[in-house]
Amino acid sequence: MRRPRLTVRVRLTLLYTLLFVLCGAALIVITYGLLAANLPRVSDLKAAKNVELVAPARDGGDGVPPPEFLEACKSVLNGSQDVDPAVRTKCLKAYNEGIIVGAQTQRDATLASLLWQSGLSLAVATLLAAVAGWFVAGRVLRPVQRLTVAARAASEHNLTARVALGGPRDELRELADTFDTMLERLQRSFEGQRRFIANASHELRTPLTVMRTSVDVVLAKPHATEAELVGMARDVRAAVERAEALIEALLTLARNDGGLAAAEPADLATAAEDVLDGTDLRDRRAHLSLEPAPTAGDPILLERLIANLVDNAVRYNDPGGELWLTTSTVDGCARLEVVNRGPAVPPEAIGALFQPFRRLHERTGGDGFGLGLAIVASIAQLHGGTVHAEPRDGGGLRVTVSLPRS
């Protein structure tokens, strides 16, 4: 049988009450000690009176001193000198003994009264402290309860719940703000993932539709010619190549989300030369300025970054246009700059170009997926770098990539 689990509120209340009891008990002990130290002690009175607690002369009957002795002691206390010296001595001793016994009795009564009254007061105050601690614990834990409600309300399909905690900026406020920020990031991530999946499905549907149409056209003919079969095969092959290119781009983005496995020394200038050797520039004219730009990272991904920028500059260029490719080291960073002529790009649309499957209608090519610049941004971020793009005067785009120098 499992024991009932105490809630945090109950445990906090018990903790508050225990601390209050300990502090109250310590206060009682300190007060008792101070009072006991300041009240007159029997030993001090004995030394001051120079007497021992010896009973005065008594008769052997009822234990009460004889009347004659009491009368003699009264005369001594009144200052009479007509009393026998021996009786005077006994009277003074009896008087001093009475003072000592009375002081001792008063001291014991005072300390005993302090103990039971303080104990009773501590018990009542402890009960009040427990009640107050219960309400205080509930108020302190109220933000945590709001966090719990927001966490329960959050799901993959509903991430709009927020704590939005007000009040002073204390630890609980920071926790609530951090939780809201996390929910906001998750919401953006899920929304981006849904858009990405929808766009990827749409892009993959295009080559599949082409293949299905080509096959259906040929199958609809009872006697397809060899030329028709060859044309169908070419269409299917082109669609397969397009699908493979899209899948490869998607896999590149997915691998980049896993982080950089290992970093190797690399030079952006050397990588740019290798990319240009394997790139068809069509009728574009390339102007190169390749200075050493050492960095560290995955050489294959860095080549992919440069290849995407060059392919983007070639694809979205004017017929017979120009592009400029520059590598250098600036402010301790390896820098790559790719500039191309082409249609004018609105400045407010620059940010959208680095999102997956985001294109401008002026920059839409028949063989593009809208993933080139998204992969560039992903690879740059993976290597701890940045990407900056701005419209070029006269049309076109200027893209600058800065990576940490090795």
Q: Is the dihedral of CA 16, 19, 25, 30 positive or negative?
A: negative
Q: d(Cα 46, Cα 44) in Å, to the nearest integer? A: 5
Strands (E), 284-349: 285-290, 294-297, 322-330, 333-340
Q: Is-contact 405 332, C-beta < 8 A?
A: yes
CATH class in words for 171-256: mainly alpha
**Distance from C-alpha of 376 to C-alpha of 256, rounded to nearest angstrom:** 11
Tokens representing 341 are 């002529």
Tell me the longest C-alpha to C-alpha distance in the chain. Answer: 163
So what's the architecture of 264-404 in CATH? 2-Layer Sandwich (3.30)
* Predicted pLDDT of residue 364: 40
The pLDDT profile of the chain, 406 residues, written as one tens digit per residue, is 556 677 888 888 999 999 999 999 999 999 888 888 887 766 655 555 554 444 444 444 455 566 666 666 666 666 666 666 776 677 777 777 777 777 788 888 888 888 899 989 999 999 999 999 999 888 888 888 877 777 777 765 677 777 777 777 777 788 888 888 888 888 877 776 776 677 677 667 777 888 888 888 888 888 888 888 888 899 888 888 878 877 777 777 666 666 676 788 999 999 999 999 888 898 999 999 999 999 998 888 898 899 999 999 998 899 999 999 999 999 889 999 999 999 888 888 888 888 777 666 544 444 566 778 888 888 898 888 999 999 998 889 999 999 998 7
Q: Are 133 and 13 in contact (CB under 8 A)?
A: yes
In the block, residue with structure tokens 């979205």: 316
Give CA angle at 273 (337, 277), nearest 5°: 120
Which residue in 254, 253, 401 sits closest to 339, CA to CA? 401
Classify the C-alpha dihedral 271-272-273-276 as positive or negative. Answer: positive
Looking at the DSSP assignment, which residues form a beta bridge with residue 296?
265
Q: Are 78 and 91 in contact (CB under 8 A)?
A: no
**Claim: this prediction has a pTM higher than 0.75:** no
Element at 119 (helix H, strand E): helix 85-140
Per-domain residue ranges of the chain: 8-140, 171-256, 264-404
Tell me if residue 391 falls in helix, strand or coil.
Answer: strand
Q: Which two tokens stand for residue 388?
A: 């900056």
Alpha-carbon distance of 390 to 398, in angstroms, equals: 5
Measured CA to CA in angstroms, residue 20 lies from 117, 129, 322 at distances of: 17, 7, 81
